[in-house]
Amino acid sequence: MPRSRFYQSVSQYFKKAARHSTHPAGVLEQVRVCNATYRMQFPVREDDGTVRVVEAFRAEHSYHRLPTKGGIRFSKHVNLDETVALASLMTYKCALVGVPFGGAKGGVRVDPAQISDGFRERVTRRYTAELIRKNFIGPDIDVPAPDYGTGEREMGWIVDTCKNINMNAAATYASVTGKPLSMQGIAGRTEATGLGVYYGIRSACDAPELMNPLGLIPGMAGKRFIVQGLGKVGYYTAKFMTEDGKAILAGVAEREGALYHKDGMDLEAIVKHRQKTGSLEGFPGGEFIADRMAILEYPCDILVPAALEGQITTANADRIQAKIIAEAANGPVESDAEKILLARKVLILPDLFLNAGGVTVSYFEWLKNRAGVSFDRMTARHEELTKQQMIGAMEQLSGTRLPADEASRVLARPNERTLVLAALEQTMLRAFDTLCAFQHERKVEDLRTASFLFAIERVADSYRHHGIFP
């Protein structure tokens, strides 16, 4: 059977990078292949009592580390090839940012915009039961999370189903991440991917060696961007880019069309308008464009595809005007399109690096659930007391008192959110520096090849150290 375009595209990226590796072909083949897939079809009752058969998948790409990890996608386009390709991206993404998991992905073939809440719950619970039956879920086995079309509500149903079937209560919470806070989720997970994308773009914008060749002034402030998709990832990316980064939101694309204004638009006003009217159309602050794909070709500095794969292809690559493409989604640029873009000197910040913030904070959530205690609980008071002592000693030495507002700022206790987001920032900054240094050291032509190669080397090393290969 011919493989899907997306699968082929990921394979091309892998091959291009693997050529630079010194590992033997057999090891590289083991790093490339998907270790296990589970395709299922099960009946779910519709609201009117009729039965619909739903097709779904789970792919566990790499067992070099356990558990495997990756989101569950609800989309009418889900298929086995797509699930496998996305699972492989998870393996490489985790290896790149030092999250000690293998990659996995799940897909349920339903249209998230067309199903009722009741059907959504029944399908989620039945899918979970299928995973449990085949041992495709568990804190040390495979840990799902949200992806396109799912969120914390679905993750809550998954935990509940696990709890009710056959897992012991203590382990259950670490079986899935992206849970609601009230079900032992972690503060900061909702915005983690978008915030990570922002940190990644900010790092690139702050690097003169990346901006100068593009003819751009270093710094994010004042740069125009277009975001495709106002889901969690797109929304939070745009929010942090405008509020913290002082970038200008010039364009937004969603299912029904797009909005553009070269001088910038107010993100919250757009979201409010869309909630009220169900569409971007009629928003007073920008021009409505009915062709949602056309906006990708509008003038801007940074294009942020934050929806699905395969958005930039050979059909539109030569008309993209952005100087930077920031891959907030998984796989938005096809490999043949990338060739065109690289020849045109467009800077591509690859998904493996850029959207790794989500799984990074999922890792923190998993650790919290394994430990059974939140990160701030054990340290917050101790830190406060230590800081009080330090301030006291400094005041004694200098003979002056620290102004009250300054003292309370220094003394502020870190809560879970502060700790999680600081660790996320640290992870993204370190990954960026590592990636740039690695690209330089291994003399590879672009950041995507560097990301894939870095990940391939890590996973291959791990297989060899396990003694699986000589």
139 binds ligand GLU (CB under 6 A): no
- DSSP string spanning 179-206? --GGGT--TTHHHHHHHHHHHHHHHHHT
* Rounded-to-10 torsion of CA 110, 114, 118, 123: 0
368 binds ligand GLU (CB under 6 A): no
CB of 388 to ligand GLU, least distance (A): 37
359 binds ligand GLU (CB under 6 A): yes
328 binds ligand GLU (CB under 6 A): no
CB of 342 to ligand GLU, least distance (A): 24
The answer to whether the beta carbons of residues 262 and 299 sit under 8 Å apart is yes
**How far is Cα 249 from Cα 239, in angstroms, rounded to an integer?**
9
Binding part of the chain for ligand GLU, among 69-77, 280-288, 381-389, 419-427 by CB under 6 A, reads 69-77
Bridge-based pairing of strands 51-60 and 68-74 is unpaired
One-letter amino acid of 228: Q
The answer to whether the beta carbons of residues 82 and 107 sit under 8 Å apart is yes
**How far is Cα 372 from Cα 276, in angstroms, rounded to an integer?**
41
Per CB under 6 A, the list member of 67, 70, 188, 196 interacting with ligand GLU is 70
172 binds ligand GLU (CB under 6 A): no
Binding part of the chain for ligand GLU, among 66-74, 124-132, 307-315, 384-392 by CB under 6 A, reads 66-74
Per CB under 6 A, the list member of 149, 231, 331, 358 interacting with ligand GLU is 358
**How far is Cα 113 from Cα 14, in angstroms, rounded to an integer?**
33
First to last CA, the chain: 34
Q: Which is nearer to ligand GLU, 145 or 201 (CB)?
A: 145
CB of 147 to ligand GLU, least distance (A): 4
231 binds ligand GLU (CB under 6 A): no
**How far is Cα 256 from Cα 334, in angstroms, rounded to an integer?**
23
Q: Of 5-34, which residues contact ligand GLU (CB under 6 A)?
A: none
67 binds ligand GLU (CB under 6 A): no
Query: How many residues belong to the site for ligand GLU (CB under 6 A)?
Result: 11
Number of residue whose CB is nearest ligand GLU: 71
The answer to whether the beta carbons of residues 128 and 160 sit under 8 Å apart is no
145 binds ligand GLU (CB under 6 A): yes
69 binds ligand GLU (CB under 6 A): yes
The answer to whether the beta carbons of residues 233 and 194 sit under 8 Å apart is yes
Q: Which is nearer to ligand GLU, 194 or 286 (CB)?
A: 194
The answer to whether the beta carbons of residues 194 and 234 sit under 8 Å apart is yes
CB of 72 to ligand GLU, least distance (A): 8
Q: Which is nearer to ligand GLU, 409 or 430 (CB)?
A: 430
One-letter amino acid of 399: G
Bridge-based pairing of strands 287-289 and 102-108 is unpaired
Binding part of the chain for ligand GLU, among 65-73, 158-166, 257-265, 299-307 by CB under 6 A, reads 65-73
Token readout for 221 is 């402030």
Q: Which of 105, 232, 239, 368 is catalytic?
A: 105
71 binds ligand GLU (CB under 6 A): yes
Residues 6+ apart with CB under 8 A from 63: 35, 36, 102
Per CB under 6 A, the list member of 147, 154, 301, 338 interacting with ligand GLU is 147
362 binds ligand GLU (CB under 6 A): yes
SS3 159: helix
Q: Which is nearer to ligand GLU, 87 or 247 (CB)?
A: 87
Per CB under 6 A, the list member of 4, 175, 177, 228 interacting with ligand GLU is 177
The answer to whether the beta carbons of residues 385 and 126 sit under 8 Å apart is no
The answer to whether the beta carbons of residues 242 and 248 sit under 8 Å apart is yes
105 is a catalytic site residue:
yes
Task: Give the residues lining the site for ligand GLU (CB under 6 A).
Answer: 69-71, 145, 147, 177, 330, 355, 358-359, 362
Residues annotated as catalytic are 105
